[in-house]
Structure 1
Amino acid sequence: MNETEFFRAAEYIAHADALLITAGAGMGVDSGLPDFRSREGFWKAYPALGQARIAFEEIANPNYFHTNPALAWGFYGHRLTLYRHTEPHSGFAQLRAIAAGLPHGAFVFTSNVDGQFQKAGFKDAQVLECHGSIHWLQCLSPACNENIWLADGFKPQVDTSVCRLINRPPSCPMCGGVARPNILMFNDWHWIEELAVIRQERLSAWLSKVERLVTIELGAGKAIPTVRRFGASMKGPLIRINPTDEAIGSSREGVAIRLGALDALNGIADALIERGFLSAT
């Protein structure tokens, strides 16, 4: 890796007054989380689904909560437990330290549903989860209500050998029916986007105060390009960090770093320390 990219990224940050953090599944890989980048990788993480030849796009679909809630919650219950027990890698702390040195701090836009940014100390109000969060629930029936509630009281017990929930699934407090994660799934017409809308309004208000924005994109893929497109739509330089798809094009001001999130953030942090923007710890 040429250190020039780290110092260019550090210069952009040092001259900015705010940091927009856009993150995809690759952000969590260094914490040990799967990114479901390929069908084979998904089936390696969930061998029972592999044996049944059920792809991620199939199980991540609200229909399974209607037809086979034990299997649907076997998948999502396992993920909920995994995310609850996963500690965010040190790159999250690097981002917090960088944001602390900027007049308007940072705002996060992420397609991840794992809650890792909040677990790492980012304020909930400063995190826009554009696909929802596994830590919130909603009723499976669209005719019931449009409320959402925290999943804190649900402790899933999953038989991973068959990817099935063995205790009772969470239920709606209004109708008593099965609840589902408040996540935007494939072929999903009933996701309740209340939190995302509120955070989008907060993000827009935050951006209106910013004069020298820099965007840092971490581990955002092309398969579902929501994060890449959003970050690319922003004014100001773009720092794109991706181990395989880092190119940003010659017409866009910015820097492309072909690394995973943690290695790249460590390199940028070292460059910022050398520049005097960050203090060594």
Structure 2
Amino acid sequence: MKTNDFKLLEERIRNAESCLFLTSAGMSADSGIPTFRDKEGYWRNFPVFKRLGLNAIDLANPHSFEVRPQYAWAFYEWRRRNAHQNRPHLGYHVVNRLIGEVFEKSFVHTTNTDGYHIISGLDESLVYEVHGSMWRLQCMRGYSCEYGVKPNTDVPLCDLDYETMIATNLPKCPHCGELLRPNILMFGDWGYVENEYQIRNYQAFVDDVGVPDLIFLIGSSSAVPTNDYLAVRFQSRGSFVVTINPDPSSTAVCKPNLFIQKRAKEAFEIIQRMVFGG
């Protein structure tokens, strides 16, 4: 970033009354959470699945829980353990401090499923996990079962053989006996149970502020541009968009007003010094 960019960013932060944080996989990368968009990185973590020819899309869908539940649950059990072993990095806490001390009204809209915004201490009423959370479970029968959605932070949740990447003792629904699955919006997923509480809170924020003064678009990619399109929509109505991403191709969908070509943790360390000193 150029010196003038720092000055512009500081000015925008200090003058903004409302802010929307749009966070995606790159936000958690500095916490050791793999993005799985990089196929080679995926294969490094799951060499067994490479031998079986199973990529992330093959496993992260409801059909996989029907036909190969031992592998589908192995994938998510590994992710739960990984997220449990790591912690939200400093950037999460800087976001929380900006929300609590700087902006009058703010909200987090995240495509991440690791739960790190809430784990970092941010009140759930200020978060919309648009793709769900690995820390909630639902029945495979979805809305057809009275189980609904239940929080579950058990680690381990099921048994996992790291050599074969086979999970056993899989969680079952106490109401109907069907397999439980993560409350995550997967590929080709028609059975996902929405989090109505978070949706209402997000809509209430948007209804209240109309157009956020400032938007941080963090760690997104054109592969899953959910947040990018949201940023574009608000930008067209007057929001100032700050993109934080080390990859210049991340600006393909949303052309930011200010591009910070850094990883999330480093960028928020700079913002912390800029806004709070020290």
Alignment of 1:85-124 (within 5 A): 85-124=85-124
2:154 is the alignment partner of 1:150: no
Corresponding residue for residue 236 of structure 1: 239
Instruction: Give, as a single letter, the amino acid of the residue that structure 1 aligns with 2:197.
Output: I
Corresponding residue for residue 20 of structure 1: 20
Corresponding residue for residue 136 of structure 2: 136
Check conservation: 2:147, 2:175, Cα contact below 8 A: no
Check conservation: 1:248, 1:254, Cα contact below 8 A: no
> Matched residues in 2 for 1:99 and 1:248: separation?
28
Give deviations 1:141-173, integer Å, cap 9, x for gaps.
24434611112356232112221113x111112
Check conservation: 1:26, 1:218, Cα contact below 8 A: yes
Corresponding residue for residue 261 of structure 2: 258
Corresponding residue for residue 73 of structure 1: 73
Check conservation: 2:115, 2:135, Cα contact below 8 A: yes
The runs of 5 or more residues in structure 2 that have no matched partner are none
Aligned residue for 2:108, secondary structure, equals: strand
> Matched residues in 2 for 1:267 and 1:120: separation?
19
Change beyond 3 A, Cα 1:241–1:179: same
Q: Which moved more, 1:182-191 or 1:33-42?
A: 33-42
Q: Which moved more, 1:58-67 or 1:143-152?
A: 143-152
Check conservation: 1:7, 1:271, Cα contact below 8 A: no
Corresponding residue for residue 54 of structure 2: 54
Corresponding residue for residue 199 of structure 2: 200
> Matched residues in 1 for 2:113 and 2:127: separation?
11
Check conservation: 1:111, 1:131, Cα contact below 8 A: yes
Aligned residue for 2:189, secondary structure, equals: coil
Q: Percent identity?
A: 28
In the superposition, the TM-score normalised over structure 2's length comes to: 0.90
Give deviations 1:59-81, integer Å, cap 9, x for gaps.
11111111121111111111112
Q: Which moved more, 1:21-30 or 1:36-45?
A: 36-45
Deviation at 1:243, TM superposition (A): 1.0
Q: Which moved more, 1:154-163 or 1:74-83?
A: 154-163
2:251 is the alignment partner of 1:247: yes
2:85 is the alignment partner of 1:82: no
> Matched residues in 2 for 1:248 and 1:2: separation?
21
Give deviations 1:198-221, integer Å, cap 9, x for gaps.
322212212333376211111011
Corresponding residue for residue 7 of structure 1: 7
> Matched residues in 2 for 1:253 and 1:140: separation?
40
Aligned-residue Cα RMSD (Å) equals 2.0
Change beyond 3 A, Cα 1:249–1:23: closer
Deviation at 1:249, TM superposition (A): 8.5
Corresponding residue for residue 185 of structure 2: 184
Deviation at 1:46, TM superposition (A): 1.4
Name the count of aligned residue pairs: 271
The runs of 5 or more residues in structure 1 that have no matched partner are 273-277
Check conservation: 1:61, 1:185, Cα contact below 8 A: yes
Q: Which moved more, 1:12-21 or 1:201-210?
A: 201-210
Corresponding residue for residue 163 of structure 2: 161
Q: Which moved more, 1:52-61 or 1:100-109?
A: 100-109
> Matched residues in 2 for 1:22 and 1:7: separation?
22
Corresponding residue for residue 275 of structure 1: none
Corresponding residue for residue 126 of structure 2: 126
> Matched residues in 1 for 2:167 and 2:7: separation?
49
In the superposition, the TM-score normalised over structure 1's length comes to: 0.89
